[in-house]
């Protein structure tokens, strides 16, 4: 059985998620009381978008929103999977008050 490769979707996924996140952040200022709701909402919206792009993958999405400032941040991920069909993409978006980092993992059924 031939499985679709995540590599085929990667560019379209990155484009769609960039558009979604930038649209979401476009008119917002960082607000510590709202950011947890924003990350949850964005993650859910991203998964819904991904499901319309392909039903051949299980998707895992992590979303981090970080207030702009002088703090550093380092993120690393690793996976044990079939690199011929599974894949990931990382997206970074920002506005004048925050960064948003989204990691997407697509694991073939």
| Per-residue model confidence (pLDDT) at position 2 | 57
Per-residue model confidence as pLDDT tens digits over 92-102: 999 999 999 99
| Per-residue model confidence (pLDDT) at position 35 | 96
Nearest CA to 100 among 60, 68, 53? 68
Tokens standing for residue 75? 């993120």
> pTM score > 0.85 for this model?
yes
Residue ranges per structural domain of the chain: 6-108
Alpha-helical regions (H) of the chain: 6-25, 35-53
Per-residue model confidence as pLDDT tens digits over 25-80: 999 999 999 999 999 999 999 999 999 999 999 999 999 999 999 888 888 888 88
Q: Going by DSSP bridges, is the β-strand pair 98-108/87-94 parallel, antiparallel, or unpaired?
A: antiparallel
| Per-residue model confidence (pLDDT) at position 74 | 84
User: Residue 57 and residue 31: Cα distance in Å, rounded?
Assistant: 34
6-108 folds as: Ribosomal protein S3 C-terminal domain (3.30.1140)
């Amino acid at each position: 059985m031939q499985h679709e490769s995540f590599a085929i979707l990667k560019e379209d996924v990155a484009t769609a998620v960039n558009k979604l996140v930038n649209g979401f952040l476009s008119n917002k200022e960082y607000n510590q009381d709202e950011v947890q709701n924003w990350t949850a909402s964005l993650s859910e919206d991203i998964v819904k978008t991904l499901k319309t792009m392909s039903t051949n993958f299980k998707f895992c999405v992590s979303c981090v929103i970080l207030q702009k400032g002088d703090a550093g941040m380092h993120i690393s991920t690793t996976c044990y999977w079939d690199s011929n069909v599974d894949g990931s993409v990382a997206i970074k978006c920002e506005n004048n008050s925050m960064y948003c980092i989204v990691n997407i993992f697509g694991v073939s059924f």
